[in-house]
Amino acid sequence: QVQLVESGGGLVQAGGSLRLSCAASGSIFSINTMGWYCQAPGKQRELVATITSSGSTNYADSVKGRFTISRDSAKITVYLQMNNLKPEDTAVYYCNADIRSSSNPRGRHYWGRGTQVAVSS
């Protein structure tokens, strides 16, 4: 059973920082793209940032210059360094990964349960 578990969310003041992490576990063959998405109440889930197995990154315009996505050397954990946080960043942040596993050897996307980020003004 493949699982993605996020951590690092919390309540911070505007201008503060948080570092989110997401670790994959299970009978994993390989992981291609990993990324972060956010969802505020009443809104669609939106892309924040992604990183491929080769290290290519992609960011939403709203977070460019403030957030940095990275991946550990083992390629099973993804991080999101969030600096200069703004109240509009408040949302549940979800981890996503394209994973080949024993149960899905041809690959599929998995979602974490999410971690809450709240930014006060």
Question: What does the pLDDT look like over 76-99, one tens digit per residue?
Answer: 999 999 999 999 999 999 999 999
Quote the pLDDT of residue 102. 94
Q: How distant, in Å, are the alpha carbons of 38, 39, 79, 105 from that of 87?
A: 13, 14, 21, 41
Tell me the pLDDT tens digit for each residue of 2-28: 999 999 999 999 999 999 999 999 999
pLDDT at 74 over 90: no
Quote the pLDDT of residue 117. 98
pLDDT at 73 over 90: no
Q: How far apart are CA 79 and CA 71, in angstroms?
A: 6
According to DSSP, the residues that pair with 49 across neighbouring strands are 36, 59
Which phi and psi angles does 89 have, rounded to 5°? Answer: -80, -10
